[in-house]
Structure 1
């Protein structure tokens, strides 16, 4: 009998072409997991992720689900996956969930973390996980700009998919800033995010922090609904999918 399993994963996205399986590469997170599950089950298994992290983006807690019929305990399935997954991908939790559970469709909100190093050089052992901006930022101006983004808005200006046919309206619930010495941590929590949306929001906030844009311009950019009005797309290495929340 097929059972629905949920897994929570952490991975270093540095050497991968993103979450989503693609025909022209075998370097995807979804592809690695499906390959191991196919070996276990003796047939193709489809893994559904809560969202598609881009090439180079990391995850502290990506959620996914799949259906499987094997005579193994939850712990044995988890151990099997971790035995054969590369060292930069790990299943940190696995459990059975109701048949109707879907990791993407049932997600209530997601939190992304972006990490910036403002010192002249990144710390050697953190170099793959921070954007090495290398210059001071006006964090107070960035905070003021972020206030315009809170709530339900059309975020078309912050979407890199020009052919997007579905709605570009999203609800950003919180943007939180934390400073530790020369390092800046920004968390974005919302009900969902568009293609490259967090990285474009981040790039635009950085331009505010550089004083290339004023905090008040954020409202103008939102209303323009034009990608060219927003800032640059911040690099992937600073971005983590930190948390995916579901109803209890």
Structure 2
């Protein structure tokens, strides 16, 4: 059976997350339903696998999944047909490509990239409602960068891990946290870009929630290091809401969709 990799974008707002669920809408369920309409052999209990299982309300601009199909599709025609059958769900197949049989969207990945968008202004978000986390006061980006520096490298991230996390170990290497500050009408937007081989459940949202406390002046930057060293979930700052989080890319060697 030919294996295809799919590059997927979606608005997570209407979904209970990526993972298929019996009684709630999911991104995985939407894509699998579209595949079943195109490739009857796929309908017999087949599943697709993704690079990351995003939570309810989390978005993606660069999710990757793979599917084994009966028909050997032209990749462009496959992406076009899937997009037709995905309507009107806010899910798009940006690209499809044939991959080797041993390619696995999750286990072949060597890097995942997330972006979190935080809007600081008093007026409510309009066009970005449901796509950013909003606070009312501006933040100190320099202080947040100083706090974030304590998290780079190999650490035990127990303090920044959900109690429901299923990962075997809390030890992860965080390769990058880059914080952008952008001017927006009557406010500022802060974009947190994080890169690592893999992440713990709620790790990004826990980190951003903690750094927001630093930016607001409630925490000194050094307290981030103290929270990390505590290895205690109670030492972490608040977990920010999901709507500002985006899975923006997944790294493979070689890259299935080109550079």
TM-score (norm 1): 0.95
1:52-100 deviations in whole A, cap 9, x for unaligned? Answer: 1110000011000011111532222211110011341000000000100
- Structure 1 residues 123 and 162, CA, compared in 2 at 3 Å: closer, same or farther? closer
Preserved contact between residue 175 and residue 189 of structure 1 (Cα < 8 Å): yes
Tell me, in whole angstroms, the C-alpha distance in 1 between the residues paired with 2:165 and 2:28: 25
Q: Give the alignment of 1:1-248 within 5 angstroms.
A: 2-25=1-24, 27-42=25-40, 43-44=43-44, 45-87=46-88, 88-162=90-164, 164=166, 166-181=168-183, 182-248=188-254
Question: What is the CA–CA distance in structure 2 between the aligned matches of 1:12 and 1:162, rounded to whole Å?
Answer: 24
For structure 2, list consecutive stretches of 5 or more residues without a partner in the other structure.
255-259
Q: Secondary structure at the match of 1:188?
A: strand
Deviates more, 1:7-16 or 1:116-125: 116-125
Give the distance between the partners of 1:121 and 1:244, measured in 2 at CA.
34
Please give the alpha-carbon distance, in whole angstroms, between the structure 1 residues aligned to 2:78 and 2:67.
12
Task: Please report the RMSD computed on the Cα atoms of aligned residues, expressed in angstroms.
Answer: 1.3
Structure 1 residue ranges without an equivalent (≥5): none
Number of aligned residues: 246
Counterpart-to-counterpart distance in 2, 1:133 and 1:223: 28
TM, length-normalised to structure 2: 0.91
Relative distance call for 1:165 and 1:172 in structure 2 (3 A) is closer
Post-superposition offset of 1:192: 0.7
Task: Give CA-to-partner distance per residue, 1:173-214, whole Å, 9 cap, x none.
Answer: 111111111111110111111111100100000111122221
What CA distance in whole angstroms lies between the structure 2 residues aligned with 1:173 and 1:160? 20
Cα distance between partner residues in 2 of 1:94 and 1:175:
30
**CA–CA distance in structure 1, aligned partners of residues 172 and 124 of structure 2:** 33
Aligned structure 1 segments of 4 or more residues deviating by more than 6 angstroms: none
Do the aligned residues in 2 keep the contact of 1:121 with 1:132 (CA within 8 Å)? no
CA distance in 1: counterparts of 2:165 and 2:108, whole angstroms: 25
